[in-house]
Structure 1
Amino acid sequence: MELIFLGTGAGVPSKNRNVTSIAISMLNERNAIWLFDCGEGTQHQILRSSIRLSKLEKIFITHLHGDHIFGLPGLLSSRSFQGGETELTVYGPTGIAAFIENSLELSGSHLTYPLQVIEVEPGEIFRDNQWQVVCDELDHGISSFGYRLVEADKPGTLDAARLKQEGVPAGPLYQELKQGKKVTLPDGRMIDGEAFIGPKQKGRIIAIFGDTRPQENERALAENADIVVHEATFEASKEEMAKEYMHSTTTDAAKLAQIAGAKHLILTHISSRYDKEASLQLCDEAREVFPNTDIAEDFASFTI
């Protein structure tokens, strides 16, 4: 599973950073791509990546500011021309349905696939046998959400070496034992698969935040996350400006990762005032509080 940053800038695009969009490639796990936010130009960024629109399964919108949604109508329309036939679900704050409906209707766009739009409230918004997604409101002046993705635990590994020592012949029996079943061997012995399966593998946790000032709701979303993706629009010395514009600083994001017990912090939504060299200084600021911090660049990818 891979986290791919398609846009990492704040407010307006710059030469080095497009506006916000983040993809999670789950091709090995569910043959799908999930997208978080869709700023203007996102489909152009996708053309420069390995992502295929036909694999897009879900889009999660954090809030309705233009730098997070202006690319959505074009992307939805283009998916029809790029082989998209399977259902696509868009999640977002109240108003996202009207934005999509009006944009498509006024532009005369016709989709060749089923589109479902779900306007979210705090709490669980999706669950299947692989993932649970919950969201909660942030503090950004308009309705803005953070999303927490929790992967289901995976079954433990079958101890094939120990089975061999017990004289269990390799073959179809191993598959049944891996499912925890009891099987009878040719020699009459009964073997319980549960006794040969290791502990469950803990599922991964990913927290992706929309624009926000620091607030209490964030901690639960980021709790014990393998990766936290958080905006860091401003440097630490501009704390008052960040509060005024309802954004976060580098150290705000780092403190959240620290108190939440996260493993890895990735900073994004970087103001265009910071060039590439200054962006590295932003990362250093955050690392003083939370050492395992990276700052995202457009097209950067991180294995989850």
Structure 2
Amino acid sequence: MQLLFLGTGAGMPSKQRNTTSTVLKLLEERGTFWMFDCGEATQHQILHTSLKPRKLEKLFITHLHGDHIYGLPGLLGSRSFLGGEEPLIIYGPTGLKNWIEVTLAVSRTHVKYPFSIIEIDEGIVFEDEQFIVEAKLLEHVMPCFGYTVKQKALAPELFIDKTDALGVPRGPLLKQLKDGRDVVLSDGRVIKSEEVTGEPRKGFKVTILGDTKYCENSITLSEDADVVVHEGTFDVETTELARLYGHSTIVDAAEVCQKANARHLIVNHISARFLSSDLNKMLAQVEDYRFPIYIAEDFAEYIWVDGDLVKQKV
């Protein structure tokens, strides 16, 4: 699992930050990536990465403010021009379907691949054998969702040295053992899966929140998350502005993670009033929290390695 930030700004693009878009790369798990929000010029940002639009499998929209959706029509059209044929599913609030359909129809944008738009309510919005995605309403100036992506338990480790010692041939029988099924060898011996495997491995949990004030649903979605992506549009000195516009400060984001017992916090959706030189001051406001806290930058990538989050250089 990797998190790649294509846009980390708030409201409108600036020289330092594009509008909001976050990518959850699941190339090892599914051979695809998922996107959360698609602000203006997101497809331009993609050009500076190794992402291939045809590999976009799911797109989750938090709310219908322009800085979260204005890049969507262009990306949908370009994905078609680039020969994408794989299906795409878009999730988001009521009104998203009408906005996309009218925009594509009026602009006569012809999308050649199958895509569907699911207008969601609170609860589980997607589940398969690998992942569960749950959504809850946050507290913004318009309906806005937060999402949590939970990977289901992974198959336990198979101890090859033990299977070799027991004479299990390499091939399909090893997969059966790894999947928890006992096998019978050609000489009649039964090899039990529990004899040659470890405990099931815990999957990761990532919470990606839309625009919001400090609220209980943010905490609920973030409970025991490995990584939380939370907006921090303002700092402590601009707390009143945060409340007025339905946003959070970096301290609000840290409080959510602390109460949720989350392991890592990445703060994004940063107001253009804050320059790169202001970021250390913002981080100083949350230096007493016991977990790692990062402020996302455009094109920053965070990789989940052996149960820990590693930031790559921008």
TM exceeds 0.5? yes
> Which consecutive aligned stretches of 4+ in structure 1 deviate over 4 angstroms post-superposition?
none
Give, in angstroms, the shift of residue 290 of structure 1: 4.5
For the 8 Å contact 2:183–2:191, the answer to whether it is kept is yes
Question: How far apart are 1:281 and its partner, in Å?
Answer: 1.9
Partner of residue 41, structure 1: 41
Report what 1:28 is aligned to: 28
Correspondence for 2:177: 177
* 1:14-60 deviation line (CA, Å, top 9, x unaligned): 00100100011111111111000000010000011111101111110
2-structure distance, mates of 1:252, 1:175: 46
Distance 1:163 1:55 in 2: 37
1:155 aligns with 2:155: yes
Instruction: Tell me what 2:264 maps to.
Output: 264
Q: CA deviation at 1:222?
A: 0.2
* Inter-partner Cα distance in structure 2 for 1:127 and 1:176: 24
**Residue 270 of structure 1: how far off its partner (Å):** 0.3
Listed as ranges, the matches of 1:212-251 within 5 Å are 212-251=212-251
Structure 1 residue 211, shift from structure 2 partner: 0.3
Output the CA distance in 2 between the equivalents of 1:147 and 1:110: 30
1:46-85 superposed matches below 5 A: 46-85=46-85
* TM-score (norm: length of structure 1): 0.96
Q: Partners of 2:97 and 2:89 in 1: how far apart?
A: 11
CA displacement 1:176-234 (0-9 Å, x = unmatched): 32233333335443221233221111011000000000111111100111110000000
Residue 201 of structure 1 corresponds to which residue in structure 2?
Answer: 201
Matches within 5 A, 1:83-162: 83-162=83-162
Q: Give distance in 2, aligned partners of 1:233 and 1:176.
A: 50
Q: Give unpaired runs (5+ residues) of structure 1.
A: none
TM-score by length of 2: 0.93
| 1:12 to partner: Cα distance | 0.9
- Where 1:33 maps in the other structure, the secondary structure is strand
- In the aligned structure 1, how far is the partner of 2:137 from the partner of 2:179? 40
Unaligned runs of 5+ in 2: 305-314
Q: Distance in 1 between matches of 2:290 and 2:234?
A: 17
Give 2:281's aligned residue: 281
Task: Assess if the C-alpha contact under 8 Å between 1:8 and 1:17 holds in 2.
Answer: yes
Aligned length in residues: 303
Q: Secondary structure at the match of 1:12?
A: coil
> Structure 1 residues 290 and 274 mapped into 2: Cα distance closer, same or farther (>3 Å)?
farther
Alpha-carbon offset, residue 240 of structure 1: 1.7
What amino acid sits opposite 1:193 in the alignment?
S
The one-letter amino acid of 2:161's match is A
* CA displacement 1:50-109 (0-9 Å, x = unmatched): 111011111100010110011111111111011211111111111101110111011011
Q: For residue 28 of structure 1, give the secondary structure of its aligned residue in structure 2.
A: coil
Look up the SS of the partner of 2:29 in the other structure. helix
**Which residue of structure 1 lines up, in the alignment, with residue 299 of structure 2?**
299
Q: Which amino acid aligns with 1:5?
A: F
* Structure 2 counterpart of 1:192: 192
Structure 2 contact 263–291 (Cα < 8 Å) conserved: no
Shift of 1:253: 0.2
Q: Secondary structure at the match of 1:89?
A: strand
Distance 1:41 1:180 in 2: 47
- Structure 2 counterpart of 1:191, which letter? I
Q: Hey, what's the Cα distance between the residues in 2 that align with 1:75 and 1:100?
A: 12
Task: Note closer, same or farther for the CA distance 1:186–1:112 as it changes in structure 2 (3 Å cut).
Answer: closer
CA-CA distance at 1:261 after TM superposition:
0.8
CA distance in 1, matches of 2:2, 2:90: 20
Q: Distance in 2 between matches of 1:187 and 1:87?
A: 47
CA RMSD of aligned residues (A): 1.3
**8 Å Cα contact 2:231-2:267 kept in structure 1:** yes
Report the counterpart of residue 312 of structure 2 in structure 1.
Answer: none
CA contact (8 A) 2:229 2:267 kept: yes
Q: What residue in structure 1 maps to residue 7 of structure 2?
A: 7
